[in-house]
Amino acid sequence: MNIPDFVEGNRITLLHNGSEYFPALEAAIDGAQNVVHLETYIFEYDATGVRISEALKRAARRDVTVRLLLDGFGSQDLPQEEIQSMLNAGVQILIFRKETSPFGLRRNRLRRMHRKLAAIDSSIAFVGGINIIDDLNHPEPLTPRFDFAISIEGPLQRKIISAAQHLWMIVALARLKKSWVKHDEMPRSSSQLSGNQRGALVIRDNFRHRRDIEEVYLHAITNAYSEIIIANAYFLPGINLRRALSDASKR
């Protein structure tokens, strides 16, 4: 089992739904001075999408390096005109596994980029389950979408920046965008203590790290002594996770 290295000295804030996340994200982008990394599975062209798109354009026009990584399936409905508008403003945009035809879908193309991650300069980062889409933009109009993100300030942000840079480099080189590959200097402030919370970044992929997140969950559940709270949009636990939860309930 690969147990991640926990980093001390962070300020981690839980953000409920887009109503808390998007204002914080927009403010961070508007305050960016050096670089903005934004990764998302869905970038919807609704009021929220326009709001974040305009913030990215404003940052690019201030000569901030702005990198937007979109999943080719989840963000396939983003209008080409809006993509071009962002490109014209100076936003660098890469598409992860762009789908050209629904009839050409192969099994390997089911491997999507589901990360929802933002890293702004070395001041703040965001991770979680919230796509760039309005909370009320879904088939059930009576209730908003329910999801969470967290903001991170402190030493853990360095790992988030590194992860964003690494994936950007892989996709950029695959798309022959070598000029878009640059590891930006990270000011020392990214390593300074910002709070008293400890955290770790755990990333899965479809190769060597397919079960990393599940293994961390199992480790945490196995070592729980007081309470387990699970908030997850999708919950289809395998036998190991079900057994761990059952064992925990008996302790």
The answer to whether 190 and 11 are in contact (CB under 8 A) is no
SS3 (DSSP) at 153: strand
Domain around 239: 211-251
What is the domain count for the chain?
A: 2
In contact, 113 and 203? CB cutoff 8 Å: no
Which DSSP state fits 191? G
8 A C-beta contact, residue 163 and residue 203: yes
Give yes or no: residues 190 and 236 share one domain: no
Q: What strands, in cross-sheet order, belong to the sheet with 124-128?
A: 92-96, 65-71, 35-40, 117-120, 124-128, 148-153, 7-16, 197-199
Residue 51 near residue 18 (C-beta atoms within 8 A)? no
215, part of any domain: yes
124 and 221 belong to one structural domain:
no
- pTM, 2 dp: 0.88
Neighbours of 238 (CB within 10 A): 10
172 shares a domain with 70: yes
CB atoms closer than 10 angstroms to residue 63? 10
Please report, in tens digits, the pLDDT of each residue of the chain (251 residues total): 667 889 999 999 999 999 999 999 999 999 999 999 999 999 999 999 999 999 999 999 999 999 999 999 999 999 999 999 999 999 999 998 876 555 555 545 556 888 999 999 988 999 999 999 998 877 666 677 789 999 999 999 999 999 999 999 989 888 777 778 876 555 554 556 778 999 999 987 766 777 788 899 999 999 999 999 988 777 888 899 999 999 999 98
